[in-house]
Structure 1
Amino acid sequence: MSKQERWSRLLELLAVDGALDVEEAAVAVAVSPATIRRDLDELADQKLLVRTRGGAIAHGVSYELPLRYKSSRQVSEKQRIAAAVAELLREGEVVGLNGGTTTTEVARALALRTTGGAAESTSGPTFTIVTNALNIAGELAVRPQFKIVLTGGVARPQTYELVGPLTRGVLDEVVLDVAVLGVDGVDPELGVMTHHEDEADISRLFAERARKVVLATDSSKMGKRAFARICDLDRVDVLVTDSGLTPDMAARLTEAGIEVVSV
């Protein structure tokens, strides 16, 4: 296991339990306690946790894994979801993407789809991408098949998303064909949710400015609740998720008028 994989595992354990014990973490990760101590010291230096005697605790009351560590979770599922979402998008459309690991994979899948052949030989961009995610804009900006519109705003280091009034100022002036949203929770009664109210506000505006709303999220988010509501289910047109979606949840979402695509 590489250091990056080890750190991701430690942060996942911390996100679940809120605290880590050196000896227990060493068993879980299958390395020596000395290695765990060094890892925790380095993660503490990056402000990702708080060191305690014999272990560590989460940094702050509401703990969220930074995007670079979450990216290693459910990788194959997210890539399948992203490929399916990319196939739903038509050339010439204006597509909104909020931040997150799954929407980042959607951007990559769309780039692969438009690389080579007729899509890349056209005189103008194949897609217009409107995003508040710095990493997505950075990956696509060098590709001529995309026109990139990056919102302003204040950057959140956990997700690389821009939020706040400056972000709203740009989104208020655009019209989207499709908004592709990554989310933290989907509940049949409460709707679509995320962990932070500022991100929810921007994702809600993406949905409001779009003709069609596509949720791109793995099945672990189904039935989960998060702090801040984005929108009701009646605002969602399509859900693309993995095959781990339960038949009962799929039926309830279908009854709500959502087209469910499992991959």
Structure 2
Amino acid sequence: MSRYERWNGLLSLLASRGRLSVEEAAAELTVSAATIRRDFDQLAQQQMLTRTRGGAVAHTVTYDLPLRYKSARRASEKQRIAAVAADLVPSGAVVGVNGGTTTTEVARALATRADLHTEGASPAVTVVTNALNIAGELVVRPHIKIVLSGGVALPQSYELVGPLANGVFDQVTLDMAFLGVSGLDIERGATCANEDEASINRQMAVRAERVVVVADGSKLGQRAFARICGIGEVDLLVTDTDADVRAYEEAGIKVVRA
């Protein structure tokens, strides 16, 4: 287990329990008590938790774990999903991409697609995003034109939200929108944990000719606080091979397994 996987596990346990002893954490993660003490100390330095004698307590918890602590979850599945999703983008397309670990992998896969590298002045693909980290990774790629929204930055997802972000998506037309979600449920549709993110993601979906949800199997059948769009507005689901997708296919969504 990597350091970031342990940190993700510790923060998840603290979010659900509020308090955790060194011994409990060591047993849960099957590592030594010394390792947990070091992890607690390092997370406390980053103000992600409060250190106590013999353990730690949850800091004032925001709605979700920061993106950098979630990136290790189901990493191989996300990379396979991303590779398949990136291959759907034709040269010359205008693509919307929201924030998240899976969509970040989609952006990386687009950046490294050999057939999109062009010698001419025109970019091969235009990516419109409200995610600071995605824009930062792609801006150095000469074959990709980046359009970044304005807005207020959320530290959990690196997404820009608010009226300034809305203004950009009011003025663009997208061939395709890649949406990372917290949950995809037949009745509730695509959802995420934050209402401001949902508002921007909803606008992105409305402006797109084709809406593609990229989500591993752990997100299917789940629902979060804020609704992005209904299930009928999703054109394609790209997920992993172990996911149960029968209900989505029956609902008329095309499903691609990675």
TM-score by length of 1: 0.91
Which residue in 2 is equivalent to 1:44? 44
* Deviations, residues 129-177 of structure 1 (Å, cap 9, x unaligned): 0000111001110011000000001111111111111100111111111
User: Would you say the 8 A contact 2:161–2:197 is kept in 1?
Assistant: yes
2:207 corresponds to 1:202: no
Output the amino acid matched with 2:100: G
**Which amino acid counterpart does residue 211 of structure 1 have in structure 2?**
E
Residues 1:177 and 2:175 are matched in the alignment = yes
1:252 — aligned with what? 247
* Code of the aligned partner of 1:144: P
How far the C-alpha of 1:61 sits from its partner, in A, is: 5.1
Matched, 1:215 2:213: yes
Select which of 127, 152, 155 maps to 2:153.
Answer: 155
Counterparts of 1:19 and 1:258, CA distance in 2:
42
Give the C-alpha shift of residue 262 in structure 1.
1.3
1: distance between equivalents of 2:116 and 2:141? 14
Shift of 1:251: 2.3
Provide the secondary structure at the position in 2 that maps to 1:107: helix
How far 1:42 moved relative to its partner? 2.4
Q: What residue in structure 1 maps to residue 125 of structure 2?
A: 127
Q: 1:127, 1:146 within 8 Å by CA — same for their partners in 2?
A: yes
Gaps of 5+ in 2: none
Contact 1:15–1:63, Cα closer than 8 Å, also in 2: no
CA contact 2:150–2:164 (8 Å) conserved in 1: yes
How far is 1:15 from its partner?
4.2
Judge conservation of contact 2:15–2:61 (CA < 8 Å) in 1.
no
Q: Give the CA deviation at 1:112.
A: 1.3
Q: In 1, are the aligned partners of 2:91 and 2:116 still within 8 Å (CA)?
A: no
Equivalent position amino acid for 2:122 in 1 = G
Q: Which runs of 5+ in 1 are unaligned?
A: none
Deviation at 1:124, TM superposition (A): 0.9
Looking at structure 1, the residues matched to 208 and 196 of structure 2 have their Cα atoms a distance apart, in angstroms, of 19
- 1:236 corresponds to which residue? 234
1:165 paired residue number: 163
Question: TM-score of the superposition, structure 2-length normalised?
Answer: 0.93
Amino acid at match of 2:257: S
Q: Which residue of 1 aligns with 2:28?
A: 28
Alignment-derived partner of residue 86 in structure 2 = 86
CA contact (8 A) 1:195 1:227 kept: yes
Cα deviation, 1:206-241, whole Å, max 9, x if unaligned, reads: 001111100001010001111111110111100000
Percent identity between the aligned chains? 61
- Residues 26, 33 of structure 1: 8 Å contact kept: yes
Secondary structure of the 1:90 match is coil
User: What secondary structure is seen at the aligned counterpart in 1 of 2:210?
Assistant: strand
Separation of aligned partners in 2, 1:193 and 1:24: 33
Whether contact under 8 Å (1:151, 1:166) holds in the other structure is: yes
* Distance change >3 Å, CA 225–CA 58, structure 1 → 2: farther
Match of 1:261 in 2: 256
Give the AA of the match of 2:71. S
CA root-mean-square deviation = 1.8
Q: Quick check: 2:116–2:143 contact (8 Å CA) kept in 1?
A: no
Structure 2 residue aligned with 1:193: 191
Deviations 1:66-85 (A, max 9, x none): 11111111011001100110
CA distance in 2, matches of 1:183, 1:222: 10
CA contact (8 A) 1:15 1:64 kept: no
- Give the corresponding residue for 1:102: 102
- What is the CA–CA distance in structure 1 between the aligned matches of 2:60 and 2:19, rounded to whole Å? 11
CA contact (8 A) 1:238 1:259 kept: yes
Distance in 2, matches of 1:81 and 1:218, equals: 8
